Structure 1
Amino acid sequence: MTGGAVVLAAFGFSVGTASAAEFDPSPTCSALHPSPEQKAGTLDGFVIEHLPDGLGSPSDFEYEWEDVSFHSRVWETGPDPEGAYKVDLTVKTLRGERLTDLEAVKDFLVEYEEKEPGSWQLVPVKVGGYDGLLADNEVFYFIEPGVAAEVTIDKDRFTDEDLVDTAAGFRPAPTP
């Protein structure tokens, strides 16, 4: 295997005998082994019931900022001819004591996303029965004290309806 083929194989892509000049890095490439949680359509106790068509490969991330923990799943398409990837969709849960209501979630996200206070054009929405706010390519909503969710989408490829439908299907999993 050549060096490039080894790298591709290490990321779970099958590699044939094509030369580098014949290789077509189309956006239909995907990881061969999604995690059990990705297969089940869950993330951090939330179900993912709706996804728009044409998403790339998913990856999961966990991180914390200012005592709020994030669990996110990001779908990316790529690589393009220059080797870059583009984020199609992100769903994430936010958990932290400071998330006491929708206004507190908004205030936290203004700080986290480094928005200019008062400049963020937000529209109130209901998302699967939860109070939320919609802005351009994202929607966030309050679940209960300490828990919120956020969905962002590539508006060049997907519609407002895709965004809202995905968010409505991203909710806490029913308890048995």
Structure 2
Amino acid sequence: MRISPRRRIVTGIVLGVTVFAALATGPVAPASAVPHWAQSSAHLSEPVRPLDGFAITHLPAGLGSPSDFEYEWEDVSFHSRVWETGPDPEGATKVDLTVKTVRGAGITDLEALRTFLTEYHEKDPADWKLTAVQVGPYSGYTVDNQVFWFLSPGLAAEVSIDRDRFTEDDLLQTAAGFRPETSA
């Protein structure tokens, strides 16, 4: 049986496209499967080391790897721990959660903190729709993916979370669990 050159070309193209499509999509995972790069490495069954004198007693499941940072802006110092997931298949990482302490002489009360963070986050005060919130015994504000609160003159805290993956309840519970260590 003789196959025409035209049929060989069409068959080759169809076979090539089929093989390419199979290789490009890879194996199909169940809908409930979590990619390896999105699985949690932060478990509270393991101790979480404090950050700048603050205990971390609640973390949502599914966080990536933590890294600590220290920096200053406008005479205010920040100590932060950032959990990142990644890299994803394209090589990118994504911030899951950030907890930070905010220390500076200008942080005199909740309104001074709000004014400072409005400038720090480059928000328009008229457009930044903050909602008052209690974080344990402390007064603060929440908006979108973050919550911040005033603890005492010179000291505040802030938590932000990826709201595409985590809920507002995750945000608020994490904030409630980020508090000054008690001395024994």
Aligned CA-pair RMSD: 2.0
Gaps of 5+ in 2: 1-34
Matches for 1:1-176 after TM superposition, within 5 Å = 26-28=37-39, 39-176=47-184
Distance in 2 between residues matched to 1:50 and 1:68, nearest whole Å: 26
Percent identical residues: 65
**Superposition deviation, residue 129 in structure 1:** 1.1
Uncovered stretches (5+) of structure 1, i.e. residues with no partner: 1-23, 32-37
Deviation (angstroms), 1:39: 4.5
Any idea what SS the aligned residue of 1:43 has?
Answer: coil
Contact 1:69 1:95 in 2 (8 A): yes
Per the TM alignment, residue 118 of structure 1 is displaced from its structure 2 partner at its CA by 1.8
For 1:49, give the aligned amino acid: T
The residue type equivalent to 1:78 in the other structure is G
Q: Given that residues 25 and 79 in structure 1 are in contact (C-alpha distance below 8 angstroms), is that contact kept between their aligned partners in structure 2?
A: no
Q: Could you tell me how far apart the structure 2 residues matched to 1:121 and 1:29 are?
A: 32
CA distance in 1, matches of 2:141, 2:40: 34
Residue pair 1:41, 1:49 contacting (<8 A) in 2 also: no
> Residue type of the partner of 2:88?
D
Letter in 2 for 1:165: Q
How far has the Cα of 1:30 moved from its partner? 5.5
Give TM-score, length-normalised by structure 2. 0.76
- Point out the structure with max Rg over C-alpha: 2
1:82, distance to aligned residue in structure 2 (A)? 1.1
What SS is found at the alignment partner of 2:80?
strand
Output the CA distance in 2 between the equivalents of 1:158 and 1:27.
13
After superposing on structure 2, the runs of 4+ consecutive aligned residues of structure 1 that deviate more than 6 Å are none
Q: 1:146 is aligned with what amino acid?
A: G
Letter in 1 for 2:155: V
Measured in 2, the distance between the counterparts of 1:164 and 1:145 equals 23
Q: Check whether the contact 1:76–1:88 (CA below 8 A) recurs between aligned residues.
A: yes
**What letter matches 2:71 in structure 1?**
Y
Between Structure 1 and Structure 2, the one with more helix by share is 2
Task: Rate the CA distance shift 1:49–1:147 in 2: closer, same or farther, 3 A.
Answer: same
